[in-house]
Amino acid sequence: MHIAIIGNGISGITAARFIRKLSDHKITVISAETDYFFSRTALMYIYMGHMRKEDTQPYENWFWEKNRIDLKRGFVEKVNHQNNELLFADGEKMPYDKLIIACGSTPNKFGWPGQDLDAVHGMYSMQDLDSMEKYSDGLKQAVIVGGGLIGIEMAEMFHSRNIPVTFLVRESSFWNGVLPAEESAMINRHIFENHIDLRLQTELKEIVDDGNGKACAAITNKGDRVECGFVGLTAGVRPNTAFLKDSGIEMERGILVNEFLATNIPNIYAIGDCAQMQNPLPGRRPVEAIWYTGRMMGETVAYNICKKKIAYDPGIWFNSAKFFEIEYQVYGTVLAKAPENHISVYWEHVDGRKSIRIVYDKNTDEIVGFNLMGVRFRHEVCEKWLREKTNVEEVLQNLAIANFDPEFYKSYEGEVLKIYNQQAGRNLIAKKKRSWSNAFSFLKP
Amino acid sequence: MKLIKNIGLALFIIALTIFVASLTLSNHTLTDTVLSENISNTYHREMIKQQAGDLMGKEFGSNIAFINSIKPVLNNSLEALDKASGIDPDNDIWNAIPEKLPEGVSENDYRMFPNTVDDYLFSLTKYSAGGLLPGNSNWFFLLSFILGALGGLMYLLPDLNLIPGIKNNQIYDSSATRGITFKTRMVFLGTTILASIFMVFFKYLLIGVLTIVAGVFIIYKIRKTNQENDVTFQKTRTVSATKGLGWIGISFGIFLILFYVALYFFPEYITNWTLMLDPISESLSGNTASRWFLYGFLYTSVMFVMGIRMLIKYRHNNYQLVRTSSVVFFQTAFAFLIPEFLLRLNQPYMDLKNAWPLDYDFFFGDSINKMYGQGAEFAIAGWATNVGTMMFIWGIVLTLVVVPFFTYYFGKRWYCSWVCGCGGLAETLGDPYRQLSDKSLTAWKYERYIIHGVLVFAIVMTGMVIYTYMTGSSNILFFDSYNVRSWYGFFIGSMFSGIVGTGFYPLMGNRVWCRFGCPLAGLMGLVQKFKSRFRITTNGGQCISCGNCSTYCEMGIDVRAYAQRGQNVVRASCVGCGICAAVCPRGVLRLENGSVDIDNRVTELKTVHVKGIDITDGVFNLEGNEI
């Protein structure tokens, strides 16, 4: 059986790897972007000079041949499912028995005047990175539009080269659709202390052409004009499905898939950023453009093709990011606008760059979520507490076993407990100390 | 802020220039006073004076001219004394004839030997010096050592104004730290290996020719590489530069290599540096500064300044702060100050933290003799003993008990990145180069052969030396144990740990010696791999495969390969520097010790999402096969 995979990102590659673990099928991974799999999340580090391009490749080049995973560079123009065939832009055809579409996302553009000018780019692909590099030479000012994770990454990239950045964010506070107010305010402060010209509640109105088809300024909805040599469009991403139009594959925002990641067409599956769950699990969005969900879908689809039907279940929500110097981790449900029954225990360090938020249900006292800034928690421990709906007091008294900060770091679980005691009028004391042995005996009793 | 940094850099470059130039700023005159102050042996002194003839009192404009003239004089003196004592190689007479020696004088007191020649050459060059530098050595000390350190600090301290966090911006854009291509690296390595082989078998003869040939070759290669438009994306994880070659890095590497060559093989050319350090050396040990004092002082000062750089760079990370303070402390106290004080107290010289087999000459006969039964007597538990004996016992306990015990509890990091001097220099001076280590699977394979090869070599060599010490017989199988130990000293002790180990920082990363060569690291690695509580835990499914951890692993461990599988890292080579955990943007890695799962440290694959179906054996497949 020949399994073709469109897209060599984390979803497609994980699918290929697990298909190889589970079977002897012929596998072809197709990409128009690069010859080899690289970590998209590391693109910023290439620009910042932390890493070279080859350092972003998780596997050495010989790995693919050794594991009989064929790599094909090419752009799939059409999927012809009647003949089980892919049509490439150069006219080449490739037959397949099963097809996995893992073609990722493309940056959103909202019809801004000038959005297709030169020096206007998103930050998604290797080509985007090359463009940023090209326009960075002698760049005096950059404008970034859109206050999400990619926007702040792009700001950090320019900042690393001392290129001044104006950062237009539609919301009243950075990423406050996801982060609770305190954390969002912390990141606002952190953006300012990095000398980024953050403009909240400001939207892009127009990008000005310099007369040669290149962007030279951005005009905001407040009428301000910012002269610049580069405009970054980072207002989110959408599934990259343009080439599937009229293919017969059912789509809405993304490619619609059932719980087994299968599309409406037999033998065609879709995973990762480009897939849209027909019936999203409770509390989950239909399209989740997240590294981790892509990886889990890749693994799940491999089972569905090779072994047995397994429904996609991403489990307890988790995510992470880094905003300049502040690391962010989240486990479980921590909502920007907390519902009435969610109570937070929130501690923030005096330096204003670290915080711990523990969310629980006030009716049941069950733990609901962890939100961490500048502090690391142990994934499996948090997950187990969340899965077992542990009582918040039990969690807080044993919080130290979740701490994952390096050795000799000051630990703040005591402060969190103190705040809870004040809030709830309790007098609890910590039970366990931070150690691998304590965490292990909790995880594997 | 930028201005202060630039002034600091300028001062450092000025100091470095003065430091190098100071080697040429002397003239040399051999006088009776110089001879009598530096050569106490009257037979030697008279013979040298006689052989020198007209050269006595002649002023030489440079140390090179002086050495060129005086070295033959010393060699002639050696031959003349040999001849006078009846030695006649033509008739196969290799030992002195007692009747020919002056009444009551032993052969060893009468004759000169090659190492006597080296010692005399060093001290005569050093103390025959006059002119600008020797007359103002304190000023030069201030203008080179002190100004250099101040300039360095001025360059580093303004970074305190930056927001704490990972500061690796532009490492791969900088000519100083971007490294070299794979081919160029091989040229440097090949040249060094060839040169060392030639040096052993042809006694320096070919050095000049070889260096010129190698130099031409390197330049040719570098030019060619610069012409090729380097598409580095094709070559995974072996070392290659991003934008052309790092000229500053290459120059720094060559400077370090030349420094080590001079230090080990041509110390007479760097006597002016030791002249500047005489006052400090005298105040510590009471002796004048030898080349080893120069090395120790320079080593410690560099570690001190670059240690401050580490403290500033990682001031948000307590593990790095504690660890860096620890290595700098152990270098300053145990490797530098305590041995000097021991000399002052007439005790045997010893670095108490240096464990065999890194301290490869610990069991050499002369070293044992120096310790055993030497030094002040004292009573312990009713037994009279002395300092030297205690040192000997401590050295054995250190290797046999302390090293395995601590490695079991904490991993080899307790030594390699908390205590060791080699590790300490790598973690301070070498920190800007940590990303240059080769992460390929091929490099890992070579690593295991080479480091365990050196370990076996060290054990066999030491076994032979002890056998010789006990029995007095030096022939074992087909080898002479004295030859074997001098080969080890040359190839491993000097070439590998010094020239390649440190000189190659900007070329191959900062832990070349620790990763490929150090027999003690090899030994502890076995403990760490098979029976230790240490591991680097990976945090569930949080890895995004970005590769910062692998890039900044100085030991060339592909940390990401483990992290993205959610597998704990247990590797013999890991020195526990903690940088992978520090640079991880997602909080995935944590160095920790624990005994509960000691035999199952690596079995779980935390990112495998579909549980309950066992498809892997859980052990990282060395060959890179998925199955």
Query: Quick one: which of A185, A149, A158 has its CA closest to A319?
Result: A149
Contact B626 A17 (CB under 8 A): yes
Which of residues B305 and A21 earns the better pLDDT score?
B305
- Is residue A132 domain-shared with residue A167, that is, in the same domain? yes
B239 band by pLDDT with thresholds 50, 70 and 90: very low
Q: Is the CB of residue A24 less than 8 Å from the CB of residue A49? A: no
Residue B530 C-alpha from the chain's centroid: 28
Q: Closest partner residue to B609 among A299, A379, A404, by Cβ?
A: A299
Q: Find the closest chain A residue to B243 by CA distance.
A: A52
Identify the DSSP state of B247. Answer: H
Residue A382 placed within a domain: yes
What is the enclosing helix (H) or strand (E) of B592? strand B589-593
Q: Closest partner residue to A406 among B232, B234, B591, by Cβ?
A: B591
Contact A303 B608 (CB under 8 A): no
Residue A11 placed within a domain: yes
Amino acid at site A366: E
Task: Give the minimum alpha-carbon distance from B592 to chain A in angstroms, rounded to a whole number.
Answer: 7
Q: Find the closest chain A residue to B172 by CA distance.
A: A49
Contact A21 B616 (CB under 8 A): yes
B108 band by pLDDT with thresholds 50, 70 and 90: confident
What pLDDT, on a 0 to 100 scale, did the predictor assign at position B245? Answer: 66
Cα–Cα distance, B17 to A378 (Å, whole number): 51
Amino acid at site B383: W
- Is residue A280 domain-shared with residue A340, that is, in the same domain? no
Q: Find the closest chain B residue to A311 by CA distance.
A: B610
Task: Give the minimum alpha-carbon distance from B540 to chain A in angstroms, rounded to a whole number.
Answer: 5
What is the enclosing helix (H) or strand (E) of B507? helix B505-508
3-state secondary structure B73-100: HHHHHHHHHHHHCCCEHHHCECCCCHHH
Contact B593 A324 (CB under 8 A): no
Cα–Cα distance, B455 to B174 (Å, whole number): 36
Q: Find the closest chain B residue to A162 by CA distance.
A: B169
| Least confident piece of the model among B90-99, B353-362, B545-554 | B90-99
> By three-state DSSP, how is residue B574 classified?
coil
- Is residue A220 domain-shared with residue A261, that is, in the same domain? no
Task: Give the minimum alpha-carbon distance from A350 to chain B in angstroms, rounded to a whole number.
Answer: 14
Find tokens 């500064």 and name the residue.
B289
CB contacts, 8 Å: A55 with chain B: 237, 547, 550-551
Q: Tell me: the pLDDT tens digits for B512-535?
A: 999 999 999 999 999 999 999 999
Q: Closest partner residue to A292 among B234, B541, B597, by Cβ?
A: B541
Identify the DSSP state of B441. Answer: H
Cα–Cα distance, B98 to B107 (Å, whole number): 8
What pLDDT, on a 0 to 100 scale, did the predictor assign at position B626? Answer: 56
What pLDDT, on a 0 to 100 scale, did the predictor assign at position B478? Answer: 80
Q: Could you say which of A271, A306, A341 is where a domain stops?
A: A306
Residue A209 C-alpha from the chain's centroid: 32
Q: What is the DSSP string of A232-280?
A: EE-S-EEE--GGGTTSS--BSSSEEE-TTSB-SSTTEEE-GGGEEESSP
CB contacts, 8 Å: B615 with chain A: 18, 21-22
Q: Find the closest chain B residue to A126 by CA distance.
A: B233
Q: Tell me: the pLDDT tens digits for B122-163?
A: 999 999 999 999 989 999 999 999 999 999 999 999 999 999
Contact A57 B237 (CB under 8 A): yes
Cα–Cα distance, B565 to B560 (Å, whole number): 8
Q: Tell me: the pLDDT tens digits for B391-440?
A: 889 999 999 999 999 999 999 999 999 999 999 999 999 999 999 999 99
- Is residue A222 domain-shared with residue A135, that is, in the same domain? yes
- Is residue A139 domain-shared with residue A203, that is, in the same domain? yes
What pLDDT, on a 0 to 100 scale, did the predictor assign at position B438? Answer: 92
- Is residue A341 domain-shared with residue A433, that is, in the same domain? yes
What pLDDT, on a 0 to 100 scale, did the predictor assign at position B233? Answer: 37
How many CB pairs lie under 8 A apart between chains A and B?
200
Residue A419 placed within a domain: yes
What pLDDT, on a 0 to 100 scale, did the predictor assign at position B241? Answer: 47
Contact A50 B609 (CB under 8 A): no
Q: Tell me: the pLDDT tens digits for B271-281?
A: 999 999 999 99
Give the domain CATH number at A340. Answer: 3.30.390.30
Q: Closest partner residue to B171 among A10, A50, A329, by Cβ?
A: A50
Find tokens 């004592």 and name the residue.
B85
Contact B237 A380 (CB under 8 A): no
- Is residue A413 domain-shared with residue A264, that is, in the same domain? no
Number of domains in chain A: 3
CB contacts, 8 Å: B613 with chain A: 303, 307
Cα–Cα distance, B112 to B96 (Å, whole number): 12
Which two three-digit tokens encode residue A328? 């962010």
Percent of chain B with pLDDT over 90: 64
Mutate one of A34, A60, A130 to test the B interface: name it (highest B CB count within 10 A): A60
- A195 Rama class: left (phi>0) / alpha (psi -120 to 50) / beta: left
Q: Could you say which of A215, A235, A255 is where a domain stops?
A: A235
Q: Closest partner residue to B596 among A49, A59, A441, by Cβ?
A: A441
CB contacts, 8 Å: A296 with chain B: 609
Give the domain CATH number at A291. Answer: 3.50.50.60
Mutate one of B5, B168, B236, B437 to test the A interface: name it (highest A CB count within 10 A): B236
Residue A261 placed within a domain: yes
Task: Give the minimum alpha-carbon distance from A317 to chain B in angstroms, rounded to a whole number.
Answer: 11
Task: Give the minimum alpha-carbon distance from B553 to chain A in angstroms, rounded to a whole number.
Answer: 12
What pLDDT, on a 0 to 100 scale, did the predictor assign at position B383? Answer: 66
What pLDDT, on a 0 to 100 scale, did the predictor assign at position B119? Answer: 94
Q: Find the closest chain B residue to A403 by CA distance.
A: B590
Q: Closest partner residue to A55 among B166, B234, B551, by Cβ?
A: B551
Q: Is the pLDDT of residue B109 over 80?
A: yes
B613 band by pLDDT with thresholds 50, 70 and 90: low
Residue A115 placed within a domain: no
Q: Is the CB of residue A351 less than 8 Å from the CB of residue A373? A: no
- Is residue A43 domain-shared with residue A129, that is, in the same domain? no
Q: Find the closest chain B residue to A312 by CA distance.
A: B610
Percent of chain B with pLDDT over 70: 88
What pLDDT, on a 0 to 100 scale, did the predictor assign at position B201? Answer: 66
Q: Tell me: the pLDDT tens digits for B369-404?
A: 878 767 667 666 666 678 888 888 999 999 999 999
A393 lies in which domain range? 318-443
Handedness of CA A386, A390, A394, A396 (dihedral sign): positive
- Alpha helix locations (H) across B314-440? 318-330, 338-344, 365-371, 387-397, 403-410, 413-416, 421-428
Give the full edge-to-edge strand order of the sheet including A76-80: A76-80, A85-88, A93-95
Contact A193 B163 (CB under 8 A): yes
- Is residue A227 domain-shared with residue A325, that is, in the same domain? no
Vertex B125, ends B119 and B126: CA angle to 5°? Answer: 90
Residue B241: φ, ψ to 5°: -80, 155
Q: Find the closest chain B residue to A436 by CA distance.
A: B594
Residue A113 placed within a domain: no
Which of residues B308 and B98 earns the better pLDDT score?
B308
Task: Give the minimum alpha-carbon distance from A357 to chain B in angstroms, rounded to a whole number.
Answer: 17
Q: Closest partner residue to A54 among B165, B235, B564, by Cβ?
A: B235
Contact B237 A56 (CB under 8 A): no
What pLDDT, on a 0 to 100 scale, did the predictor assign at position B21? Answer: 95
What pLDDT, on a 0 to 100 scale, did the predictor assign at position B230? Answer: 41
pLDDT in tens, chain A (445 residues): 999 999 999 999 999 999 998 899 999 999 999 999 999 999 999 999 999 999 999 999 999 999 999 999 999 999 999 999 999 999 999 999 999 999 999 999 999 999 999 999 999 999 999 999 999 989 999 999 998 999 999 999 999 999 999 999 999 999 999 999 999 999 999 999 999 999 999 999 999 999 999 999 999 999 999 999 999 999 999 999 999 999 999 999 999 999 999 999 999 999 999 999 999 999 899 999 999 999 999 999 999 999 788 999 999 999 999 999 999 999 999 999 999 999 999 999 999 999 999 999 999 999 999 999 999 999 999 999 999 999 999 999 999 999 999 999 999 999 999 999 999 999 999 999 999 999 999 998 8
Q: Could you say which of A306, A326, A357 is where a domain stops?
A: A306
- Is residue A222 domain-shared with residue A262, that is, in the same domain? no
Q: Closest partner residue to A48 among B169, B319, B597, by Cβ?
A: B169
Residue A329 placed within a domain: yes
CB atoms within 10 A of CB B302: 17
What pLDDT, on a 0 to 100 scale, did the predictor assign at position B188? Answer: 81
- Is residue A73 domain-shared with residue A128, that is, in the same domain? no
- Is residue A243 domain-shared with residue A266, that is, in the same domain? yes
Q: How far lies B352's CA from each of B334, B393, B396, in Å?
A: 6, 11, 11
Mutate one of A407, A409, A412, A438 to test the B interface: name it (highest B CB count within 10 A): A407
Which of residues B612 and B541 earns the better pLDDT score?
B541
Cα–Cα distance, B66 to B75 (Å, whole number): 14
Residue A139 placed within a domain: yes
B221 band by pLDDT with thresholds 50, 70 and 90: low
CB contacts, 8 Å: A320 with chain B: 542, 544, 586-587
